[in-house]
Structure 1
Amino acid sequence: MLANFLIGLREGLEAALVVGILLAYLTKTGRRDLIRQVWLGVALAVGVSLAFGALLTFGPSELSERAEEAIAGTLSILAVALLTWMIFWMARTARHLRSDLHGRLDAALTGGRWAVLVATLLAVGREGLETALFLWAAAGATGSGTRPLLGAVLGLATAVALGWGIYRGAVALNLRSFFAWTGLALVVIAGGVLSYGIHELQEAGILPGGESLAFDISAVLPPESWYGTLLKGLVNLDPTTTWLQAVAWTAYVVPTSWFYIRTVWGGPAAPRAEVNPPADREPATIA
């Protein structure tokens, strides 16, 4: 639940900032008549993202158990690759997010109101599709039931509230620190999703070593205990971890964390983001 809350919070806040920047720019340039197209684009992006999430959840249900495990494992590893790319992309280029969106919106304005809708759909829809894939993979890694979904919904709802507060100038939030630290936490979560993907491919017989355990601590860390559930939700700690899972987790988390820390905190300090702009100004970017 906690992992899904963090994913929903971070990804939802990114999307909320994108919408806030678009709305503020249209207001600033005197094109409030196009705000309706922005909201239509947001609605379409949400609908597409929900449909994609439903496809991921219910699509493989008619397949054999081995096929389901193969699909779950493959898509989980794909989600880790996309999540890693997104984390580093945000760390390196987020300070230019506002100017990039302005450029896209300026180009869309020359194409008419429907071009604005398409530009919004693409900008928000990318965040939505990424979020659907990440949440689906993290939910599979942290267990079934309603808790992963509840965590995701709470995270998204919190992101919407924070995004609206930042846009209206009612919430002060250091976005640079927020995205820097949540990015590091997502690296650890992604390591758990990778371990889960390896496990599923081993169960499907695609990868070897399913019976070769690196450790079995189920006696001291029962999966049904509150602390076992907590660790499962935070870092997807599997009490019965195979050697391949352990090696994959270590080979991913350790170097990725090191490169991420170097990327975010290793260079010269960037100017601090403005955290509470007035309502007629654009929300703070992540620089």
Structure 2
Amino acid sequence: MLATLVIGLREGLEAALIVGIIAAFLKRNGKSLLPMWIGVAAALVASVAVGVVLTVIEQSLPQAAQEGMESIIGLVAVFFVTSMIVWMAHHARGMKKELEAEAGQALREGTAWALAGMAFLAVLKEGFETSVFLLATFQASTDASLAAVGAVIGVLVSAGIGVGIYQGGIRLDLGRFFRYTGVFLILVAAGLVLTMLRTAHEAGWIVAGQQRTLDLGWLAPNGSIQAALITGVLGIPADPRLIEVVGWVAYLVPMALFMFWPAALRPRSGGARRLQLGIAIAAIAIAAGAAVVAPLALQPANRPLALAQGGEVRMSGDSIVETSGGHERRVTLPASASVTRDGVTTWTLRSTDPAAGPATLSRTALATQNGGRLPVGVDANRAPGPYRATWSAATTRSVRAADGALLDASQQQTRVVTLSGGGLSTPRTFSVSGGENWRASDAAVAAAGASRTAAIAEQRLWGAQVPAALVVAALVLAAFALRSFRRDRREAATPASGRPPASPLTAAQNRTSLHATH
């Protein structure tokens, strides 16, 4: 309620001041106020319509799309309130004179309807900003009804102050008023940044940076006054995530410095340019460092994978190590047997090796090895056994890994026995049971894949998206510095008299004449 009250009061007062100044100007010049009130009414209707349309559209969307729209509305609201704070910081004290000058020019060039157009555009701008800002605040509020009551009270109070200023009964220090309310609005806007990042995550737009940072449950327990203030007004949840904290600080600190840095310590033109360029260079350096370090530091965790049959398999350098039944087996993964696609390396290893087994097999033992019956091709009457046996194992191993982290592994093994003697006319080769087969469990594979997906998202956020934002901010600062430099050059080339500056020789002659005169 407090946040929406201040928003309604401040935005409403801006509109009321503009309307009041235009009304007083029309009254002094003997013009009718009817065109102005028509413009104001039309702007109010349009502003309410904007809020209603946005609400209807949002409610008609699926849940994820609603969260995405809330993020967009929050972004627009943060832009509006930031531009409003910055503009008022520079123009609050001279607002009345500027508006009266514009109103005089409009009246000279047209009629009272021109001033009606001014009032319409001014109120429409403030009304549209108020609709978007209040809608974003309602979405972040824990009680929408109280938030609406606060907004209505704020608008009504602002209207009363506007009438009082028009009648001359209220004198308001606009600079101080907008400065003090700006403090609160900066905190509210920072909370909107945090809320916007959370709804963007819920919409599936931001999947990285979701590590928990603080637990504020002890500070703002549910249902308490502290929770109403911290969560309901300032938009700070009890469990802020890393990206939310970064966004909150990235907005709050620069805005606070801009608003409250002592005027005596503010750098002048040349110093401001050097400061801007210094910050721009630092931002680019940080961006370059993040782009290099983040992909290296945010690798997926190389954890062992649990086996479906018990035990585990892990990656160790250029080998995998399978542990089960108290035994450990290491298999080297040669680069020649690998294929890499989309950052995932796959090894498929096939080998046939001698295997342990009894040197002779009776007919009964052979049937047991073959699942309870003699293999096809062995006639018990002609070849009753016992048979000489030579054992081997055909093994196929499949391994998938990315960035040194094991994603999946399995082994399929077939035991092969070659029989001779025992009545067999020629040696016979058969596949029998008993191979050492294992595979990583489905849960372990899913967890490894999710870990890699999360690592890629973190790398993209901190190694690409954040550096890109820093580069954009650096370019903006550099553009401001360049504009300031060009403005100073123009002012230096155009003296106050409007004549071009004298040449160094002429200036020296003038100084000589002056000294001679004295």
* Fold shared, TM-score > 0.5 on shorter chain: yes
1:92 to 90, 95, 101: 90
Q: Which residue of 2 aligns with 1:272?
A: none
Unpaired stretches in structure 2, ≥5 consecutive residues: 267-518
The 1-side partners of 2:218 and 2:96 are apart by 52
Q: Which residue of 2 aligns with 1:77?
A: 75
1:265 CA displacement: 8.4
Does residue 115 of structure 1 match 2:143? no
Q: Which residue of 2 aligns with 1:22?
A: 22
**SS where residue 213 of structure 1 aligns?**
coil
Matches within 5 A, 1:218-257: 218=217, 221-257=220-256
1:203 CA displacement: 0.7
**SS where residue 227 of structure 1 aligns?**
helix
Q: Which has the higher helix share?
A: 1
Amino acid at match of 1:97: M
- Summarize deviations over 1:162-192 as a string: whole Å, max 9, x none: 1111222222432221111101211111000
Conserved in 2, the CA contact under 8 Å of 1:91 and 1:264?
no
**SS where residue 132 of structure 1 aligns?**
helix
Unpaired stretches in structure 1, ≥5 consecutive residues: 268-287
The 2-side partners of 1:223 and 1:192 are apart by 18
- Summarize deviations over 1:195-237 as a string: whole Å, max 9, x none: 0000000111101237421123335522333321232233112
Change (3 A) 1:96 1:266: farther
The 1-side partners of 2:185 and 2:119 are apart by 26
Q: Which residue of 1 aligns with 2:47?
A: 49
Q: Which residue of 1 aligns with 2:481?
A: none
- Summarize deviations over 1:30-84 as a string: whole Å, max 9, x none: 22x2x11111111111111111111222221111111110110122022112211
The 2-side partners of 1:11 and 1:266 are apart by 30
Matches within 5 A, 1:1-287: 1-31=1-31, 33=32, 35-109=33-107, 110-209=109-208, 211-218=210-217, 221-262=220-261
The 2-side partners of 1:119 and 1:141 are apart by 33
Change (3 A) 1:143 1:97: same
Conserved in 2, the CA contact under 8 Å of 1:8 and 1:152?
yes
Percent of counterpart pairs with the same letter? 35
1:133 CA displacement: 1.1
1:264 CA displacement: 7.3
1:151 CA displacement: 0.7
Conserved in 2, the CA contact under 8 Å of 1:195 and 1:249?
yes
The 1-side partners of 2:82 and 2:7 are apart by 13
The 2-side partners of 1:144 and 1:62 are apart by 21
Normalised to the residue count of structure 1, the TM-score between the two structures is 0.86
The 1-side partners of 2:49 and 2:262 are apart by 35
**SS where residue 5 of structure 1 aligns?**
helix
Runs of 4+ in 1 over 4 A off after TM superposition: 263-267
The 2-side partners of 1:13 and 1:26 are apart by 19
Amino acid at match of 1:155: G
**SS where residue 214 of structure 1 aligns?**
coil
The 2-side partners of 1:147 and 1:167 are apart by 30
The 1-side partners of 2:222 and 2:246 are apart by 22
Deviates more, 1:191-200 or 1:202-211: 202-211
Change (3 A) 1:26 1:114: closer
The 2-side partners of 1:68 and 1:261 are apart by 36
Conserved in 1, the CA contact under 8 Å of 2:22 and 2:115?
no
1:266 CA displacement: 6.3
Change (3 A) 1:204 1:235: same
Change (3 A) 1:111 1:209: same
Conserved in 1, the CA contact under 8 Å of 2:92 and 2:175?
no
- Summarize deviations over 1:226-276 as a string: whole Å, max 9, x none: 321232233112101111111110111012111111387867xxxxxxxxx
Count of residues in Structure 1 that have an aligned counterpart in Structure 2? 265
Normalised to the residue count of structure 2, the TM-score between the two structures is 0.49
Higher relative contact order (CA 8 A, sep 6+): 1
**SS where residue 39 of structure 1 aligns?**
helix
1:101 CA displacement: 2.4
Change (3 A) 1:48 1:264: farther
Conserved in 2, the CA contact under 8 Å of 1:199 and 1:210?
no
1:144 CA displacement: 4.3
The 2-side partners of 1:266 and 1:111 are apart by 46
Q: Which has the higher strand share?
A: 2
* Larger Rg, first or second structure (1 or 2): 2
The 2-side partners of 1:163 and 1:245 are apart by 38
